Amino acid sequence: MPTALTTKARLLRVLDGEVLAEPPIWLMRQAGRYLPEYRELRAKAGSFLDLCYNPELATEVTLQPIRRFGFDAAILFSDILVIPHALGRDVRFVEGEGPRLDPIERAEIFGLSNEGMLDRLAPVLETVGAVRKALDPDKALIGFCGAPWTVATYMIAGRGTPDQAPSRLLAARDPEALDRLIDALVDASIVYLVAQLKAGADAVQIFDSWSRVLSPAAFERWSAGPIARIVAGVRAVVPDARVIGFPKGADRGLSDFVEKTQVNGVGVDWTVPLDVVRREIAGRAAIQGNLDPMTLVAGGAELDAAIDGILAAMDGSRLIFNLGHGIVPQTPIAHVERLIRRVRG
């Protein structure tokens, strides 16, 4: 019979402190539009939120890239905006344009409550349990949420914007309101991530996709600080919770981010020099990343060289091989297969 050591998922071994000669691999947005099986299922599902809230279909989508590629981890198929939706905000996805929300007013911010939130998110938690049951023991299941700052930017602007000017303007004009919104999202995120871990997730990731637009002081106040509170709040209920933080573009503050948040792993994008990251934080957290998604689209010798460069830079350190952001729809499947072969030697 296999021992517990050999059946423990490789991703979890790295998060728990092991250095593996062959790093575990998963890709952000690995379940999605670049896969024909996803596109076929998506066409049958109705709206994007209908797909997120359908446990049978969401389970299938989550498992599709595991079956095709054999990644070391599955990540729950859902969206960061299910939290504002569960808080009672109107969220809809416009084909070809992305998410749309009604911009939140000041009075609405102070009226937010997470009462009944988990009832609305019950289908997502059902998906977590179903995926964990279907996965082999040597595959990890990653749950996730959006970081409060990133989720807040969508709630304030009502959509994604290039530089998050509406949220930065609110921070300058009415920091009390932004603090209150962040506080509400911290509380909701703790409840949501604890529920995912109890439902079967092995680790959770907190995505702060828009942290790069913040000044150093604002990053501390509205990104690193709230994420630290989420990690502490989750571990107050699940003491051994494994958490990966991904403050995209926060190269200047990564060392302080790891120290403040106490995450088990930190995601880095392709703009961050891995030699600097390794020197500053490799002994305190696993490092996840950081291939440019466009290099994966391009493929060929450039892809091979980029993969080899990441492996060389992180040789002897805890690495989770990943992209520096999500896989894009135009990515050729053959290039993903090539990546896996290259990383696994």
- Residues with catalytic annotation? 29, 33, 42, 79, 154
Instruction: Assess contact for 122 and 195: CB atoms under 8 A.
Output: no
Distance in angstroms (rounded) separating the CA atoms of residues 290 and 320: 9
Q: How far apart are CA 193 and CA 199, in angstroms?
A: 10
Tokens 């290259």 sit on residue: 342
Q: How far apart are CA 128 and CA 317, in angstroms?
A: 30
In the three-class reduction of DSSP (H, G, I as helix; E, B as strand; rest coil), residue 56 is classed as helix
Closest listed residue to residue 76, CA positions, set 91, 86, 61, 87: 61
Pairing of strands 203-208, 243-247: parallel
| DSSP structure string for 101-148 | EPPPPHHHHTT---TTHHHHTHHHHHHHHHHHHHS-TTSEEEEEEE-H
| Chain centroid to CA 22 | 22
SS3 of 204, please?
strand
Nearest to 103 by CA among 155, 150, 151, 178: 155
Q: Which two tokens stand for residue 92?
A: 């809809």
Whether the Cβ atoms of residue 213 and residue 168 lie closer than 8 Å to each other: yes
